[in-house]
Structures are given as structure tokens and as C-alpha cells.
Amino acid sequence: MKKKKKVLVLGGGARGSDYAGRMLRDHGEDIEVVGVAEPRDYWRTRLAERHGIPQSHVFADWREPLSLERFADAVVIATPDRLHTEPAIACAQQGYHILLEKPMAPTEEECEQIVRAAHAAGVLFAVCHVLRYTPYTQTIKNLIASGAIGDPVSIQHLEPVGYAHQAHSFVRGNWGNSQRSCFMLLAKSCHDLDWITAVMGKPVARVASFGSLHHFRAEHAPSGAAARCLDCPFARAEGSDGTGRDACPYSAVRIYLDAVARGQTGWPIDVITDEVTPAGVERALREGPYGVCVYGCDNDVVDHQVVSLEFDDGATGVFTMTAFAAPQGRQTRIFGTHGQLTGDDDCIELADFRSGETIRYEGRSESDPVDGHGGADAAMIAAFVKALVSNDASSLMTGPEETLASHRVVFAAERARIEGRVVEL
């Protein structure tokens, strides 16, 4: 029998648990999960029990396993955003190969420190920019590389975060306050700016950006709103007047309590409580942050933002992130000298200027069309496992230099937004 590669998980919450599970589900012949560090009892115990991790390798703090002699080949780092830098550098120095959840780190300087540490140690290093791994992305890149649209001159890309997702993650949740996590563009949309640079295949030269926290502010609370949704007349679908016209779209009662009553038990329900039952959800809404009125939270991140890009050859791009959207996938248009690509995560249409034809391409994996970013999570894990088993980074699409370059675009865009100027890279 060949020797399996051993993996340590630092941060056993939703993402860390998901990545560990995928490794064993799809690559159990090559991988075993041998350790977990997670401060929350429920998540730590659940991951350890699922994967048969011995108690000696179950820790409450990420520093504990790193105080021991290295006992795994690789590490999945899925700690909170502001707790990426120290464990990433420490793991590199101990010789662990690293799969790091995005964003790399909350500051440009810390990103550079991580990259230097990974290079100095000679370890495999990948950041979870899963959008690079989708069949949709690979089809677009191949079409551009083939010359199907000639020279790509401009790109428009939209991330419709969605009203309920914004309320859950970026108002009430872990990423609502930049001092606890990081700014919105880095937390949510470093995926997208990385993706834009990947498909265009050109370095970004200049960046401008505009955006603000427009809506989720105390002055926008309806008159008579309560501090918690469970007590609020606007929380239910019928609203206070019975017609539904003044119902709150961001009601925690609708997003969580009504959802669990319909039998929903996954995200975002399992994030707010360990007891995924109507009683458990109601208790969480009564006592925890997810039941607070969206107009009364301590959130400070933007709820809409645009980024304008100029590439080094004069090509241009526009990226839009908005909370105020119905549930839908990302949408993209790429305009070239000989054609146009239009895509929406599900399919891609090529309008060929020369032939006059419009050709449709499927953008999702037929074998795994809806699982984890349209199959991208599984593809990213497969690439990391392949690199780990072969000790060859060629299967990885998000190495340290590429990730650092796209993160620099994100940091430049936020400086441009705050300072009201064009920033040169």
C-alpha cells in the first residue's frame, strides 16, 4: 500500500470542515486527516469524530500543533481572515505544504510576508481562489487563448452578492466589521478581481474605485422597527399592514426561522447555531448577532462598489459588487476585436464578428453541476492533492505570485476608493 499524505486542519469551521471532507470523499486513497485545531467545541469535536482523529491531535488553538514536531505533510488554513498570517508563516517554516483560504491576509504587507515565507521554505502554497478552477472559467480562458474574440479590449464583471447573503455575512455576520475581519472588497471580491486578471491574462496598471455603506445604517430603519427581528412588526412576509409591501426583506425570521421550518438545515442555518431545529434557531435569533436588526448592527463595510481597471496594454475593465440583487450567478461580458463573450456561470455565448454566428458553450461540469461553486471546490481540492502527491505545483492555478499580484489590485482599489484618486500599480 502506498503511504497516504497526512493533512492538518487549522480552523475547523464551515470551510475547513468542507475541504477536509472533500479530500477524504474524493481522495481517500491518497489523503488522511490527522489533526484539527479549532477553538469552538462543537466544530472541533464534529470534525475530529467524523475523521477519526486521535485526541492527542485535537487542539483548541492553532499554536498547539505547531509547538510539536511536524506530524503531517500539509495544512489547510481556514482560520478567520485576520488569523491567516501567523499560522501561514509558522507552517511554512515548519515545512508544511499549505492550502490557505482566501483572502491571503488583511494587509498587503502581511501577504508579502506569507509569500516570502513560502518561497524561503520551498513548500507548495495555494490560496483558495476557487473561481479559477470552474469549467466555466477554463472555457472562457481557452476561447480567448484560441483567438475566438481576437484581442480582448474590455471586460464587464458583476458579482451580485444578494440581499440575504449580504445581511447574513456582511452585516450581521463575521465579515460585517472591517476591524474584525477586513474590508468588503478583500473579504468577498478578491475572488473576482483575481478572476478578472486570470481571464484577461494582462497585468493591471491603474485602478479607480467608488462605493459606500449606502443602506444598512440606523437612519434607514423603518419607524417602529424593533432591535431584534423576533420582536419586529416588519419581520414577517405580510409586514405590519398585512399586504407585504412594508415587510423587511432582511428579516432574520424569514432568512433563518422560516427556512428551517421548511426543512433547510445547511448554510446559512448551520452557521448561526449548533442546534439546527426551530427551537435552536429561535434561541440563536433571540440571543446572538444573527437576530439583530440589520439597521442596528456594528457593520461598517460597503454594500456596493465599482472598480475601474486599466491594463498595461490599454485594455479596460469594470467590476461591480452589489448587495442589492436577487439570488443569481456572476455575470460577465468580454469584448474583443473579433468577437464578444457573454457568460453567467451557467453558459457562455460567443458572438463571432467574422462569421456572424453565435455559439453557446456549457459553463458547468456535467458530473457535478451544483456542488461547491459549480464543481470548482472539488476541482481545487483535486489539484492540491495532485500537487501534494507528486510534489509538483504545476496543477495549481493559484500560486503565491499570482495571488499576491491580484491581491495588490484589491488593496489598490480600496486605497483608490478611500482616497478618491487613481492608484498606479
- The string of pLDDT tens digits covering residues 259-316 is 999 999 989 999 999 999 999 999 999 999 999 999 999 999 999 999 999 999 999 9
Averaged pLDDT for residues 122-146:
94
Instruction: Give dist(CA 304, CA 313) in Å, integer.
Output: 28
- Residues paired with residue 342 on neighbouring β-strands, in sequence order: 333, 349
Other Cβ atoms closer than 10 A to 320 = 18
Averaged pLDDT for residues 78-99:
97
DSSP 229: G
- The answer regarding whether domain 5-123 maps to CATH 3.40.50.720 reads yes
What pLDDT score does 245 carry? 79
* pLDDT: which is higher, 1 or 261: 261
Q: For residue 390, what are the contacts with CB-CB under 8 A and spacing of at least 6?
A: none
Other Cβ atoms closer than 10 A to 237 = 12
Q: What confidence tier does 1 reach under pLDDT thresholds 50, 70, 90? A: low
Instruction: Give dist(CA 27, CA 61) in Å, integer.
Output: 27
What pLDDT score does 365 carry? 56
Q: Which CATH class is domain 131-215+299-368+398-424?
A: alpha beta
What pLDDT score does 368 carry? 46
Say whether 376 sits in a helix, a strand or coil. Answer: helix
What pLDDT score does 7 carry? 98
What pLDDT score does 369 carry? 44
Q: Decide: 149 and 336 in contact? Cβ < 8 Å.
A: yes
90-99, 223-232, 352-361, 370-379: which has the minimum mean pLDDT?
Answer: 370-379
Instruction: Give dist(CA 175, CA 330) in Å, integer.
Output: 20
- Residues paired with residue 350 on neighbouring β-strands, in sequence order: 341, 359
What pLDDT score does 371 carry? 59
Q: What confidence tier does 185 reach under pLDDT thresholds 50, 70, 90? A: very high
Phi and psi based region of residue 314 (left: phi greater than 0; alpha: psi -120 to 50; beta: remaining): left
Q: For residue 248, what are the contacts with CB-CB under 8 A and spacing of at least 6?
A: 222, 225, 229, 232, 234, 235, 239, 254, 294
Say whether 256 sits in a helix, a strand or coil. Answer: helix
What pLDDT score does 303 carry? 98
Domain ranges of the chain: 5-123, 131-215+299-368+398-424, 218-291
Averaged pLDDT for residues 144-166:
97
Averaged pLDDT for residues 325-342:
96
Q: What amino acid is encoded at 144 in this protein?
A: I
Of 47, 61, 60, 49, residue with least CA distance to 17: 47
What pLDDT score does 373 carry? 63
Instruction: Give dist(CA 253, CA 164) in Å, integer.
Output: 12
Q: What confidence tier does 227 reach under pLDDT thresholds 50, 70, 90? A: very high
- Is 172 exposed, middle or buried, given 0-12, 13-18 or 19+ CB atoms closer than 10 A? buried
Mean pLDDT for the chain?
A: 94
Q: For 345-389, write each residue's pLDDT tens digit.
A: 889 999 999 999 999 998 775 544 445 666 688 999 999 999 999
